Structure 1
Amino acid sequence: MVTAVTPLISLNRGLHRVDVTAEESGLYAAVRTQSQEFLRVRLGLTVGGRRLANGTEVFRSSERQVAERIEPVSGKTTLPTLRNHDEATISFVERDGFEWSVVLRLAEDGLALRYDIPDLWGVSTLDAEHTAVQLSTWERAWMLDYQTWYETPRFGSAVKELAPGSYGFPALLENAAGGYLLISEAAIDGRYSGAHGVVDQGRQELTFETADVSTEIARGTVTPWRVFVFGDLTAIVETNLVDEVAPGRHASMTDASWVRPGRAAWSWWSDFYSGAQIEHQKHFVDVAAEMGWEHLLIDCGWEETWVPEIVAYASSAGIQVHLWCVWHDLDGPEKISKLALWKSWGVAGIKVDFMESESKDRYRWYDSILQESARLRLMVNFHGSVIPRGWARTWPQVVSYEAIRGSEYYVFYQDTPLTSSHNVIQPFTRNVVGAMDYTPVALKAPGRTTSAAHELAMAVVFESGITHFADDVDVYAAEPAVSRLLQELPSKWDETRLLAGSPDTEAVLARRSGDRWFVGALATGPSRHLSVPLDRLGNDGTFRAWVVTDAGDGGFEESVVSVEKTLEVDIANDGGFAAILVAEAAELFRAEPNQRRGLPWTAAPIVEADESGRAEVHVDEVATLRVPPRWSAKSLGQGRWEVHHPDDLRPGCAGVVMVEVNDGGAVPLFSPVRVFRPFTGEAQLSNLTMIEFRNESGPVERDMSNGGGNPGDGQRLRVGDVQAGTGLGMSSPGHASFHLGGHASHLSGEVGVDNETPNTSAVAIVEADGRELFRAEIRAGEPPVPFTADLDGAKVLTLRTLAIGEDPAHVDWLSPVLYETRT
């Protein structure tokens, strides 16, 4: 057994040296600056019931330099850089001959280490990890209580006052000399479970504890990198070490030019049920286009009937559409195929939510999403998720993560507003390790205690590959200073600089795009004067600056000033400011609205297939087609396409074929064409494709009542004492239309007001090609009204409701059956 304290191996880079020593109490990695030890990490694992680093001998060590080119698509910087690390591998052998290794990477700003078992026969288990940071030399910490979706508030505390228990990464520590240490992990995938920190005050340690009590392992690397960033706060905030030690780009992502960072309009925060309203989404597109933004996120409530329509509408304005979904909707080979369907509609990305686990099984799920989204060229925003661990480098289509208590907490927890202290900590902790979808600039947040300028400054201080602004777009358009900044804000950053601050006081960050610097400041505590040094921005410290601060009436005050060396700003209580800085002769404001373009021409928005499943679609000669999975499309030349649907498409149902034109604009242009298998026989109307609907509250529901406004939130259809298992749930006013193509003879069913809206009334109407065939006034508590409508070969069937009074009624169309035309 090795007992000497002479280092087994040493690595040197810049001012730092790391020594690995074997001592009576175990193996340690110690980091020194100018011979002064400031970080001491205990090493070790328990594998297959065997505790390693007990009776250990070194039998091999090696060193190498790792030089890698980093080409980020989003993040603190998008400039290609060459990174050099020194790496050492120390291989140990236990008394029984079991071999294992510790791999260390030393960078200018930190250390990363991991464990390998290169010669494991078969499989074994990782039962525990004994990596631990000694806390005795650290005085203050900024932490969050651990949960698997990282949404507890971050807080500052004396290290000795931290309660024993679990804390999430990244954790930030400060020592008496003003040095800082950020602890996290990187390069995780489905071979591992995630880790968090556990504070043991008795041993004065912070240990790494994995989510799974025991994890099956095989030969090779058995843990992700444990990452330790150290230095002053500038080194902490500006580091990219988590991404640097992650694997380089996956082979399927060698071309990431399609990944488009930027700004997104998002209606859910300001109007919970707006995701179900296409007209609401079109309005958000219109304002986003005026702002020059790149994206629209449609959160819960979207319905496939109109998603292709909004994708086409948004494409004409240079805006791409992203859809929200829940993780288990994409769990497994059959469900994950929905991604290919959404891609066929022209959707550009997904926001996938509620993973809320760090288990190995869940990381395998992440692997599947990463691989499939890369194959399909879909951007990904993970919500209810783990923190970033380097995926932005390996899988640059991952443009953001939540893992933060952000603005959505104003919606769910209105009695617990987000504090300025919580916000100020984030640039020094959570946002250090990667994109953070806080959804900033919540000006209309109920109970908000932060100032208006504080909220606006988040747009600069918080980094995300896609920034989803929380508030209604009309709120921003009504505030000149706000709309100006959010128009000018770049889609990505060239570099990031910390100018001033600390996790307990304020965070002042500058981010550069071209020749302009954008500066944002978040502060906590009383109003005061800030003198922000500008020497790190170059330009001899001379700038022309547009500065937005708080006005006394709770609004904004803007000014254009010349500054040298320092930017002098008065800030409000729990306030902040935002600014744009340029050279004296340069132009401050450059934003322009998105240009509107015409959509691709199509001969008809609806076509029918023949008995063989073939249909012919006529489009622009320069267009191509996107078809759903298992469909096929063949060009016949001169804008004529032959499309085939699969055999299992039901009569009366359709698939959407998206006509696509790439004219050199920022995004492709789309027009939808629905290809129907003609209706035959008889069918429940709720099983057929809607070609269009509008509804007062949420989508028109299939086989359930209208509910509260989200898809699938209704109950069993109930009108008085009558219940039905099939039908349509609709609010008033509302309507739903179906393509008949002249193949139906009549429709029969019943209609009434669902029991979920007592004391309401409505008018129910059946129309065919715009002709009214049936009308009834219906009231809650009364039996349903039966109807039979003679369709007489109509092309389009519409069920319509009209409101009576102020309160909308929820109308149930009970068991409506469609019958084929008789010859």
Structure 2
Amino acid sequence: MKAFNTLLTFLFLITVKSAFAQGQAVTINSPDKRLSLSVFTTDKKLVYSVRAGNTPIIKPSALGLKVDNTDLGDNAQISGTAVLSTINESYAILGNHSVAYNRANEADIPVAASGRKFSIIVRVYNDGVAIRYTIPVESKHIDGEYTAWSLPDKVTKIAWADFHQSYEGLNYVTPVAKIPEGKTIMSPVTFEAGGYYVSIAEADCENFSDMALVRNGNVLSVNFPFAKSGWDIKPAITQIPLNGMYHGKQVSPWRTTLVARSMNELVNSDLVTNLCPAPAAGSDFSWVKPGRALWQWWSVGSPKYEDQKKWYDAAAKLKWEYYLVDDGWRYWQQPGKDQWALLKEVINYGKTVGVKSLVWVDSKEFRKAPERKAYLEKVKAIGADGIKIDFIPDATDEIMQWYAETMQDCADLKLLLNFHGSVKPTGLRRTYPNDMTREAIRGNEYHMTRYNRVMPPQHDVTVPFTRLLAGPADFTAVILNPKELESTKFTWPHEFAQAIVYLSPITHFADQYQYYLDSPMFDLFQQLPTTWDETRVLPCTSMGDVVAFARRKGDTWWVGVMNGGDEREIKIPLDFLNKKTQASLVYDGATNNSVDRREQTVTKHDVLTIRLRPSGGFVAKM
């Protein structure tokens, strides 16, 4: 994952010009000149705004950290000339496409506030902007943050998520006024306004507490729900690259505003990963391999030792790369053998049928560095290829640093990572590509009969524009058991489409293996990729209503469509094809647990007309 086109950095002076009778301003443009970000002072308060041409994207909004009881956004002035640098690089990525392009203009703007000196660092991309703060030297405590986003006047709809410790709240699409005022919601938050799609999030969170948001009127502001009294600033850990430093200074995470002219630009943006460090020099992540995983917990509960060969055999028949041994293996016992010996036996069996193993663990086993390293070495020694870490504490500054240290330890041991019961990602899979996926989403664990859990259809067609904009999500996709689909009547094509639309380089399939082996879509399950060379969001897509993606791997296109709660008809032009091809088309069947599968020849001139049941879907391979 080595970046090339070396980071170009050159210095020159930007004139700090008078923009208001009472203030100063620095304006930075995107490389294509379309977006501009202005930082200025008005009434001695730090403010910024974002425009796309003449269209206001973010109206003048507050800036500032509160450090040692001092608001660095108040009694402030831009204190000197800004320093500009240019970023121009590309790198491989396991995602919506195979290569990410990182091109931006960056400015380091010196500021003085209440006797404290620091900088506001801004980056402006063609598809968004980002802002972070340097921490004044000798600061002791972060009390809070005042960064805000003042929304434009005519927001047509906004996608957002309920507060939840591990991001497992429901997601909604509503008018702005329907977001509970004064209550914490989770980012990313995405809205439509003025012909643009705008998404608010954070990037490169290394040792700050996780950022959530609070609405007051038409303004969204930074909130730290897991650190209400702030936290003490700790010395940087020099042994790992993710230590909260940037160009030798302690910094906050980036506060990001993605600005897209279409849903296609929105979903394909690499803004969040672009803002994160490249892997450390000399790193080799060629061993990181995506794939599909079978697992047992969702469908039948804790894994039983005597059943494991059947699960590995089923994964092999499906041609899936991985099997996850989930919670329950730690209680295995047989005469003369403890759980570790038995786990090694099943992992060894998996190797004989060509299936690699992932192992579930509880984070409490290794919250501290020495125990963590010893435990991970034990997992590696028995032959596992990856680890799923669950039940992670609140995302405080210390726990965010624990994530970084864990990614480093797993990289050292060549272990793939899946964080569950976790915080959202902030792009650091660029630094550690072994951080394959994480939960931090209300996935199919919230649609299962044994816990009397039922998911509303709108959630499924909202998360591609909220949580998934932060990074891959382990939704644990594709329920086929008719009993489990009885409540909401999700259809089989809708369920299959989850594995196409929801990016997860290792995709864990939720259901009992027999449902996949007996499925009329069995051959498609055998062939489905989990990472892509190209992604197109199709024109019929509407946040909270219906979502349709076309994704290409090599010369094969896959289409996944998920419908919300209302019956509808959509049209899909096949203009992304470049030649006549044979297609497998899977429509909703007569019932929610059946399909209408057709094999036919299609060309780029064809337009598919698809009638979707409520909670229905469509899948195609071309």
TM range (shorter): 0.7 to 0.9
Please list the CA deviations of residues 459-487 of structure 1 after superposition, one character each: whole Å capped at 9, or x if unmatched. 11111011010001111111122x12211
**How far apart are 1:451 and its partner, in Å?**
1.5
Determine if contact 1:185/1:225 at 8 Å carries over to the other structure. Answer: yes
Please list the CA deviations of residues 709-735 of structure 1 after superposition, one character each: whole Å capped at 9, or x if unmatched. xxxxxxxxxxxxxxxxxxxxxxxxxxx
Q: 2:199 aligns to what?
A: 182
Within a 5 Å distance, the mapping from 1:132-147 to structure 2 comes to 132-137=148-153, 138-147=155-164
Distance in 2 of aligned mates of 1:386 and 1:3: 44
Distance in 1 of aligned mates of 2:273 and 2:487: 34
Distance in 1 of aligned mates of 2:87 and 2:362: 39
> Which one of 541, 546, 552 corresponds to residue 506 of structure 1?
546
Distance in 1 of aligned mates of 2:125 and 2:553: 26
The 3 A distance-change label for structure 1 pair 428 and 94 is closer
The 3 A distance-change label for structure 1 pair 460 and 12 is closer
Q: Who wins on radius of gyration, i.e. which is larger? A: 1
Determine if contact 2:45/2:76 at 8 Å carries over to the other structure. Answer: no
The 3 A distance-change label for structure 1 pair 37 and 4 is farther
Q: 2:173 aligns to what?
A: 156
Q: 1:367 aligns to what?
A: 404
Determine if contact 2:46/2:77 at 8 Å carries over to the other structure. Answer: no
**How far apart are 1:527 and its partner, in Å?**
2.8
For residue 551 of structure 1, what is the amino acid of its counterpart? G
Q: Which secondary structure does the structure 2 equivalent of 1:539 belong to? A: coil
Please list the CA deviations of residues 737-784 of structure 1 after superposition, one character each: whole Å capped at 9, or x if unmatched. xxxxxxxxxxxxxxxxxxxxxxxxxxxxxxxxxxxxxxxxxxxxxxxx
Determine if contact 1:442/1:471 at 8 Å carries over to the other structure. Answer: yes
Give the TM-score, by structure 2 length. 0.87
Within a 5 Å distance, the mapping from 1:510-525 to structure 2 comes to 510-525=550-565
Determine if contact 2:386/2:417 at 8 Å carries over to the other structure. Answer: yes
Give the TM-score, by structure 1 length. 0.66
The 3 A distance-change label for structure 1 pair 556 and 454 is same
Determine if contact 2:44/2:74 at 8 Å carries over to the other structure. Answer: no
Give unpaired runs (5+ residues) of structure 2: 1-17, 236-247, 330-338
Within a 5 Å distance, the mapping from 1:401-420 to structure 2 comes to 401-411=438-448, 414-420=451-457
The 3 A distance-change label for structure 1 pair 390 and 413 is farther
Corresponding position: 1:249 with 2:279 = yes
> Which one of 298, 308, 322 corresponds to residue 325 of structure 2?
298
For residue 469 of structure 1, what is the amino acid of its counterpart? F
Distance in 2 of aligned mates of 1:416 and 1:314: 32
Q: Which secondary structure does the structure 2 equivalent of 1:374 belong to? A: helix
Q: Which structure 1 residue ranges, 4+ long, deviate > 4 Å from structure 2?
A: 1-6
**How far apart are 1:576 and its partner, in Å?**
0.5
Determine if contact 2:44/2:76 at 8 Å carries over to the other structure. Answer: no
**How far apart are 1:220 and its partner, in Å?**
2.1
Distance in 2 of aligned mates of 1:184 and 1:126: 20
> Which one of 614, 618, 621 corresponds to residue 573 of structure 1?
614
Please list the CA deviations of residues 131-182 of structure 1 after superposition, one character each: whole Å capped at 9, or x if unmatched. 001135234211111122000110111102221110001111122x332211
Distance in 2 of aligned mates of 1:447 and 1:25: 60
**How far apart are 1:412 and its partner, in Å?**
7.2
Determine if contact 2:161/2:466 at 8 Å carries over to the other structure. Answer: no
Q: 1:674 aligns to what?
A: none
Q: 1:205 aligns to what?
A: 219
Please list the CA deviations of residues 597-647 of structure 1 after superposition, one character each: whole Å capped at 9, or x if unmatched. xxxxxxxxxxxxxxxxxxxxxxxxxxxxxxxxxxxxxxxxxxxxxxxxxxx
Corresponding position: 1:56 with 2:70 = no
Determine if contact 2:294/2:324 at 8 Å carries over to the other structure. Answer: yes
Determine if contact 1:62/1:88 at 8 Å carries over to the other structure. Answer: yes
Q: 1:453 aligns to what?
A: 493
> Which one of 583, 587, 591 corresponds to residue 549 of structure 1?
587
Distance in 2 of aligned mates of 1:300 and 1:414: 17
**How far apart are 1:350 and its partner, in Å?**
0.6
Percent of aligned positions that are identical: 30
Q: Which secondary structure does the structure 1 equivalent of 2:412 belong to? A: helix
CA RMSD of aligned residues (A): 2.0
Corresponding position: 1:29 with 2:59 = no
Distance in 1 of aligned mates of 2:369 and 2:45: 46
Distance in 1 of aligned mates of 2:581 and 2:199: 33
**How far apart are 1:447 and its partner, in Å?**
3.8
**How far apart are 1:56 and its partner, in Å?**
2.0
The 3 A distance-change label for structure 1 pair 412 and 196 is farther
Q: Which one is further off, 556-565 or 240-249?
A: 556-565
> Which one of 242, 249, 255 corresponds to residue 226 of structure 1?
255
**How far apart are 1:11 and its partner, in Å?**
2.2
For residue 360 of structure 1, what is the amino acid of its counterpart? D
Q: Which secondary structure does the structure 2 equivalent of 1:393 belong to? A: coil
Distance in 2 of aligned mates of 1:12 and 1:32: 11
Please list the CA deviations of residues 543-586 of structure 1 after superposition, one character each: whole Å capped at 9, or x if unmatched. 432111121033112112224242322222210111112xxxxx
Tell me how many residue pairs correspond in the alignment: 566
> Which one of 452, 464, 472 corresponds to residue 512 of structure 2?
472
The 3 A distance-change label for structure 1 pair 472 and 546 is same
Q: 2:28 aligns to what?
A: 10
Q: 1:788 aligns to what?
A: none
Corresponding position: 1:235 with 2:265 = yes
Distance in 2 of aligned mates of 1:300 and 1:186: 31
Give unpaired runs (5+ residues) of structure 1: 582-823
Distance in 1 of aligned mates of 2:531 and 2:586: 21
Distance in 1 of aligned mates of 2:510 and 2:531: 19
Distance in 1 of aligned mates of 2:62 and 2:163: 22
> Which one of 250, 258, 278 corresponds to residue 287 of structure 2?
258
The 3 A distance-change label for structure 1 pair 478 and 12 is closer
Determine if contact 2:30/2:125 at 8 Å carries over to the other structure. Answer: no
For residue 311 of structure 1, what is the amino acid of its counterpart? I
**How far apart are 1:435 and its partner, in Å?**
0.8
Distance in 2 of aligned mates of 1:57 and 1:502: 43
**How far apart are 1:248 and its partner, in Å?**
0.7
Q: 1:811 aligns to what?
A: none
Q: 2:346 aligns to what?
A: 310
Distance in 2 of aligned mates of 1:462 and 1:510: 12
Distance in 1 of aligned mates of 2:606 and 2:110: 52
Please list the CA deviations of residues 496-529 of structure 1 after superposition, one character each: whole Å capped at 9, or x if unmatched. 2111301121110111110001110001133332
Within a 5 Å distance, the mapping from 1:92-171 to structure 2 comes to 92-96=111-115, 98-117=116-135, 120-121=137-138, 123-137=139-153, 138-164=155-181, 165-171=183-189
> Which one of 524, 528, 543 corresponds to residue 489 of structure 1?
528
Q: 1:539 aligns to what?
A: 578
Q: Which secondary structure does the structure 2 equivalent of 1:280 belong to? A: helix
**How far apart are 1:55 and its partner, in Å?**
2.6
**How far apart are 1:334 and its partner, in Å?**
4.2
Corresponding position: 1:394 with 2:412 = no
Name the one with the larger strand percent: 1
